[in-house]
Structure 1
Amino acid sequence: MAGEIPDLHAQERTGTGKGAARAARRAGMVPGIVFGGDKDPLPINIPFNVLLKRLKQGRFKSTLFNLKVEGQEDVRVICRDVQRDVVKDLPTHLDLMRLRRTTKINLFIPIDFQHEDECPAIDKGGVLTTIRGEVELLVTAGDIPETLTVDLRKLENIGDTITISDITLPDGAELVIKDRDFMICNVSAPSALKSDAEEEDEAAADEVPTIEQEDDIPPADSE
């Protein structure tokens, strides 16, 4: 199970329909609806600034939230839609879906890079480059992994890489991208070493002698 599921605070909205939604927006709120889970839909309002901040952080539609509404039991939800103003591109309504523990959902799981101080390739002067800090998985709502683990001690030489096939996925979790073995991280040579190597290659190229045709060599007879 994942460690900390972020809270999403909302208020129960009294009244439904366009009139109640407009009133909510005038009050600095974004109206929404919570549906699913064999329960009646619950109309809610979320403070505009809170929602906008969450949206700017990214991955809003693939993040599992613990919805807290006064007078209601906490429930795990995931966003299924955010409607926006066609001109200002600001949120005007959102739909949240309740999740059962057995529900399958797509989530981005962060990667925990371990034992960097014991990585042989880094000890040899290499520089760790992170290609992906998270991976999208299909997981069960009741059994979400907190992180995926990468053991950097496996990188022995400069130029070595770790791809998704090198990571052991938790039981029940599946990759969303299955058609390629994409890279997670690598260890490359420092920029200074790369520059020195390029300079050596250029110097070697300058030393290659060129053969010029002598003026006194007669051309070959043509048949």
Structure 2
Amino acid sequence: MEIKVTQRSVQGTGASRRLRRQGRVPGIVYGGGADALAIELDHNEIFHKLRQEAFHSSILTMKMDNKTEQALLRDVQMHPFKPIVLHVDFQRVSANEKIHMKVPLHFVNGDISPAVKLSGAIISHIFNEVDVLCLPKDLPEFIEVDLKELTVGHSLHLADVKAPNGIEFVAVVKGENPAVVSAVLPRAAKAEDDSAPVVSAADVPAANQKAPNTEK
């Protein structure tokens, strides 16, 4: 994905306000062994790109004048209640250095899992994104989580998720294995099971009980 930027010659709070009134967004790009550079972007372009999931988890081609750089979106500041982008941060990336990035999780086949199909369970997503470590060329747009084997009352843990080639889950590298998704029964169904009456012989009508044998 591409984003066009322009080097920003003026800085400071007042200068940033003037930029925003002109439909521009102040920003900064840093890292990659080079000095931090103040930039500005077109507000409408960055606003619409921020609505795309892939823009947040992809290596971006940053075009400035006749030069291009590879970068990641690192931070966005939005107005508290208006649809206005106030500031953006980008980080340069090097092809040979691993990056630490959050990647969205896409859950598939939940509707055909035994938990849903046979038990009517609800799939509860504990995480919707995951921290990964990889080279820029291996960074995926998203990671697919297959739920077709999930059964009611059980969870799928991060170590059970198939990682794409070249991808390491940061939590697993640290020795952690958190649950990513679980299958639970709806409260109504659970309440019905818990409140089901226990029938004893004393509760059975006399007409349905077998008469004792009195013959000798």
Q: Same fold (TM over 0.5)?
A: yes
Alignment of 1:15-34 (within 5 A): 15-18=9-12, 23-34=18-29
Q: In the alignment, does 2:131 pair up with 1:136?
A: yes
Where does structure 2 lack aligned partners over 5 or more consecutive residues? 199-216
Aligned pair in 2 of structure 1 residues 101, 110: CA closer, same or farther (>3 Å)? same
Q: How does 1:195-214 map to 2 (within 5 A)?
A: 195-200=191-196
In the alignment, what sits opposite 1:185? 181
Partner in structure 1 of residue 206 of structure 2: none
Correspondence list, 1:35-50, <5 A:
35-37=30-32, 42-48=37-43
Equivalent pair of 2:62/2:70 in contact (CA under 8 Å): no
The structural deviation recorded for 1:67 is 4.1
Q: How far, CA to CA, are the matches of 2:125 and 2:87 in structure 1?
A: 36
CA, structure 1 residues 132+92, in 2 after alignment: closer, same or farther (shift >3 Å)?
Answer: closer
What is the CA distance between 1:30 and its match in structure 2? Answer: 2.7
Q: Which residue in the other structure is 2:65 paired with?
A: 71
Partner of 1:161: 155
CA RMSD of aligned residues (A): 3.8
- 3-state SS of paired residue (1:100): coil
- Aligned residue for 2:91? 97
Amino acid in the other structure paired with 2:163: L
**Secondary structure of 2:100's partner?**
strand
For normalisation by structure 2, the TM-score amounts to 0.66
SS of corresponding position for 2:181: strand
In structure 2, relative to structure 1, the CA distance for the partners of 1:183 and 1:23 (3 Å cut) is same
Matched positions, count: 192
Percent identical across equivalent pairs? 30
Alignment of 1:51-70 (within 5 A): 63-69=57-63
Alpha-carbon distance, 1:34 to partner = 2.8
- The answer to whether the 8 Å contact 2:59/2:136 transfers is no
Partner of 2:148: helix, strand, or coil? helix
- Residues 49-105 of structure 1, C-alpha deviations (whole Å, 9 max, x = no match): 6656777999x9x744524435334432124566899xxxx8765442221222322
For the residues of structure 2 that align with 1:66 and 1:168, how far apart are their CA atoms? 25
**Residue 121 of structure 1: aligned partner:** 115
